[in-house]
């Protein structure tokens, strides 16, 4: 179970950064007063345009950054007071994870398994299972520097799933993947959902949200402006497709907040 209550995250921007990026304000309010929950056996999609606050929300959930205010509880553990337990109970995928270019896929898994305090036999079992699912077996001994974007993304996913936790937090999981590989990933997430895992993904791709999620939350300018099943969102916005719902909402809320 994931519970996010009144999450607000403000980034402070240094003078140098402000000058560099020609910014006026000392701070950026990336996410404001966002609340939602995700149940076991459910896939929740955070949908929003660039800069909406998706990654910020997921990073707060994954204990990478601290909320400015609000509360996040993951399987009963508070991200601020019990961050270590949270980390043990989540699988987190981020595009910002930089894999060491000199490592092979095989060694990368061993390395991260070690960090997770897994036993060598445990790592091997899980590694073979994940390499098989994501089609990594064929290039497991190649150096990452020779990988394509898709191969890196697949390995990133395998690394994040090394342990087998109940909560899966994936930031843009199908980013950079061709449609076959993207399907492998979405099928895997659907399998995990069947197993009763609690899953949240972020995406700016409507089709991914439509196809994969049980419920969708739309973030615009740091505000969660609507949430519900696809059917509920279409009803509330009086539209026929998620694209149209999104455009209607963006027209209404985009300028004020973004
Ligand atoms: N470390 C940071 N310092 C200052 N501002 C930041 C920082 N990280 C993100 N922001 C700002 O916070 C806002 C939300 O960014 P975030 O990365 O959460 O958006 P996103 O929805 O993930 O976007 P994208 O679709 O481009 O990945 C943006 O205005 C961004 O510029
Ligand atoms: Mg992002």
Q: What confidence tens digit (pLDDT) does each residue in 178-211 have? A: 888 899 999 999 999 999 999 999 998 899 999 9
Same domain, residue pair 73 and 135: no
Structural domain range at position 121: 98-164
Please give the pLDDT value at position 255: 62
Strand 2-12 and strand 69-74: the pairing is antiparallel
The residue among 186, 8, 162 whose CA lies nearest residue 87 is: 162
Section 224-248 average pLDDT: 96
pLDDT band at 97 (very low <50, low <70, confident <90, very high): confident
Decide which of 164, 180, 210 is a domain's last residue. 164
Section 231-245 average pLDDT: 96
Decide which of 122, 137, 164 is a domain's last residue. 164
**Helix count (H) and strand count (E) of the chain?**
11, 10
Pocket of ligand 1 from Cβ distances under 6 Å: 11, 13, 28, 30, 48, 50-56, 204
Distance 127 CA to ligand 1 centre (A): 32
Range with the lowest mean pLDDT among 68-72, 88-92, 231-235? 88-92
Q: Over the Cα atoms of the chain, what is R_g?
A: 19
Nearest CA to ligand 1 atom 3: 11
Section 72-95 average pLDDT: 94
Tally of structural domains, the chain: 2
Tell me which of 53, 200, 205 to substitute to probe ligand 1's pocket, judged by most ligand atoms within 8 Å of the beta carbon. Answer: 53
Same domain, residue pair 57 and 171: yes
Is the whole model's pTM more than 0.85, yes or no?
yes
């Amino acid at each position: 179970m994931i519970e996010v209550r009144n999450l607000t995250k403000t980034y402070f921007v240094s003078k140098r950064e402000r000058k560099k990026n020609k910014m006026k304000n000392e701070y950026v309010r990336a996410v404001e007063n966002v609340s939602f929950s995700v149940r076991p056996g459910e896939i929740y999609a955070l949908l929003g345009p660039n800069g909406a606050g998706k990654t910020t929300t997921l990073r707060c959930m994954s204990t990478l950054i601290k909320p400015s205010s609000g509360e996040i509880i993951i399987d009963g553990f508070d991200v601020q007071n019990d961050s270590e337990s949270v980390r043990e109970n989540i699988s987190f995928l981020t595009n910002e994870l930089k894999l060491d270019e000199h490592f092979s896929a095989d060694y990368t898994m061993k390395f991260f398994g070690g960090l997770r305090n897994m036993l060598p036999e445990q790592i091997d079992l899980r590694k073979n299972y994940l390499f098989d699912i994501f089609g990594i077996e064929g290039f497991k001994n190649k150096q990452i520097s020779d990988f394509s974007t898709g191969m890196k993304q697949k390995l990133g996913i395998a690394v994040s799933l090394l342990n087998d936790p109940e909560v899966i937090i994936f930031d843009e999981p199908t980013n950079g993947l061709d449609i076959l590989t993207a399907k492998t990933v979405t099928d895997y997430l659907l399998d995990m959902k069947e197993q009763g895992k609690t899953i949240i993904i972020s995406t700016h791709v409507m089709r991914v949200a439509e196809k994969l999620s049980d419920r969708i939350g739309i973030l615009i300018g740091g505000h969660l402006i609507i949430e519900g099943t696809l059917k509920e969102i279409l009803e509330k916005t009086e539209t026929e497709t998620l694209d149209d719902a999104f455009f209607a909402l963006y027209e209404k809320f985009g300028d004020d907040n973004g």
